[in-house]
Amino acid sequence: MRRSQGILPHFQHPAQVIVAGFGAAALLGTALLVLPISTESGESAGWLTALFTATSAVCVTGLAVVDTASHWSAFGEVVIAGLIQIGGLGIMTLATLLTLLVAGRLGLRARLFAQAETRTSSPTDVRHVVRRVVVFSLTCEAAAAVVLTGRFLLGHDEPFGRAVYLGVFHAVSAFNNAGFALWSDSLMRYVADPWICLTVAAAVIVGGLGFPVVFELLRTWRRPQRWSVLTRITVAVTAVLLVAGTLVFLIAEWHNPKTLGPLDDPGKFLAAFFTAVMPRTAGFNSIDIAGMHPSSRLATDLLMFIGGGSAGTAGGIKVTTFGMLAFVIWSEVRGEREVNIGHRRLPDTAQRQAVSVTLISLALVALSTYLLMALTPHSLDKVLFEVVSAFGTVGLSTGITADTTPAGQVLLVLLMFIGRTGPLTLGSALALKDRTRRYQLPEERVIVG
């Protein structure tokens, strides 16, 4: 069969283009950040530091081996913000937009590539979806930037230019679930400021819901009965996790002098809610992560592993995967042959994909935790926290990132990359072609448990 022509003809599967696109963006960012102009000192940051930071930015993670505010120059910070924007929108979304602007039309191959990144239902609607994704993203970022700029300007006496810079940078970082901040303590100095904390939290939640869910909610928010299964699961699981996370952190950290203890009651509720939102997966923190009780860090591990919505800026296995598994278990416990959600039946393929994503992710986290423990002297809870944060593209840390060995930092780079592109996406990108078995073997029941 003759190879079809089109953009990037050497790639036979859209997933390959996505992985290659994110890899190219990370390498380009590395090349820019390694330049002396990117640092405050005027000296090169080194290839490993540049690679780690660029990968963290383009994979919208937020982990850092150097202090973002003091180490990188204005040029370096702009590069980081640009990488965050690219990673948030998705390489193929930007490529589709560029094709529209230059050629005014899309070939079938380009539509298929963009469809894989934006999770659209049909290749024919990619053009419309990409436009809406870009416009919606920029609108949300602009709205958050306006609120943050006003607060920095009027509430914290920042000069106008500095307030605008801070507002735009943190709006982009928040909406894209990146978690990069321009202060060494992240947002801890604003722990009791509802204008900043709630604005950042709202941007994180909206960006983490996923574009298909957001668009459907905008169309049918008054008619929940018409919501698709994707929207129902995403909204329900997100709400449950936010409420449960807030309660867990309130109960566990209420009297902790290193976290919520010094705050008044409204401040404690605000900080607990903010802390429950960030594992969705944005790496901002308004309380000291290292000072949290081990039980709170374990709860954060679980929230980071689950992550946010599909086809959005969040990482993790996604709330839809977690929700589907919950319904699969519920149906199995009740002895039902089919898995039903609302008035719809969940396909067997979706169930297998959910199980595969979860088990592959668990195996990857377990293996990476073992390797990182062998490479560093840190305790299990801190290493596990770092690994899950990297895989879930969260960016929260107990402070051991910079102390990790070079080999450990390379491992975290790989985790961030895999966490953003997805275990199944990466696996399918490495596969040369799909293999279909043209026969069925006899069925045999196996004892489970």
Cα dihedral value 70, 76, 79, 83, nearest 10: -50
Place of tokens 């960006």: 207
Strands (E), 311-403: 340-341, 344-345
- In a domain, residue 303? The reply is yes
Looking at per-residue pLDDT, the higher value among 225 and 96 belongs to 225
Task: Judge whether residue 187 has pLDDT over 70.
Answer: yes
Tens-digit pLDDT profile for residues 341-395? 877 888 887 788 888 889 999 999 999 999 999 998 889 999 999 999 999 999 9
Please tell me the total count of domains within the chain: 1
- In a domain, residue 6? The reply is no
Mean pLDDT of 19-39: 92
Contact 52, 409 (CB under 8 A): yes
pLDDT band with cut points at 50, 70 and 90 for residue 336: confident
- In a domain, residue 442? The reply is no
- In a domain, residue 98? The reply is yes
pLDDT band with cut points at 50, 70 and 90 for residue 430: very low
User: What integer pLDDT is reported at residue 259 of this predicted model?
Assistant: 95
Q: How far apart (Å, rounded) are the C-alpha atoms in residues 92 and 85?
A: 13
Task: Judge whether residue 3 has pLDDT over 70.
Answer: no
User: What integer pLDDT is reported at residue 374 of this predicted model?
Assistant: 93
User: What integer pLDDT is reported at residue 219 of this predicted model?
Assistant: 85
Tens-digit pLDDT profile for residues 120-150? 555 556 677 778 888 889 999 999 999 999 9
Task: Judge whether residue 180 has pLDDT over 50.
Answer: yes
Q: Supply 229's token pair.
A: 């299964």
Residues 6+ apart with CB under 8 A from 87: 22, 25, 57, 58, 59, 60, 176, 178, 313, 420
Q: How far apart (Å, rounded) are the C-alpha atoms in residues 376 and 168?
A: 36
**What percent of the chain is modeled with pLDDT above 90?**
57
Q: How far apart (Å, rounded) are the C-alpha atoms in residues 210 and 93?
A: 14
- In a domain, residue 124? The reply is yes
Tens-digit pLDDT profile for residues 70-83? 999 999 999 999 99
45: three-class secondary structure by DSSP: coil
pLDDT band with cut points at 50, 70 and 90 for residue 432: very low
Q: How far apart (Å, rounded) are the C-alpha atoms in residues 332 and 235?
A: 23
Task: Judge whether residue 67 has pLDDT over 80.
Answer: yes
Alpha helices in 176-318 (DSSP H): 194-209, 211-220, 229-253, 265-277, 294-306
Contact 398, 289 (CB under 8 A): yes
User: What integer pLDDT is reported at residue 122 of this predicted model?
Assistant: 55
- In a domain, residue 448? The reply is no
> Structural domain of residue 387, as residue ranges?
14-429
Q: What is the pairing mode between strands 340-341 and 344-345?
A: antiparallel
Residues 6+ apart with CB under 8 A from 374: none
Looking at per-residue pLDDT, the higher value among 119 and 38 belongs to 38
Closest CA to 54 of 203, 208, 180, 181: 180
Tens-digit pLDDT profile for residues 234-254? 999 999 999 999 999 999 999
For the chain, the average pLDDT equals 85
- In a domain, residue 233? The reply is yes
- In a domain, residue 7? The reply is no
User: What integer pLDDT is reported at residue 4 of this predicted model?
Assistant: 42
CA angle 267, 273, 278 (to 5 degrees): 125
Mean pLDDT of 282-308: 93
User: What integer pLDDT is reported at residue 357 of this predicted model?
Assistant: 86
Closest CA to 395 of 259, 265, 321, 300: 300
pLDDT band with cut points at 50, 70 and 90 for residue 19: confident
Closest CA to 211 of 302, 96, 126, 100: 126
Q: How far apart (Å, rounded) are the C-alpha atoms in residues 412 and 390?
A: 6
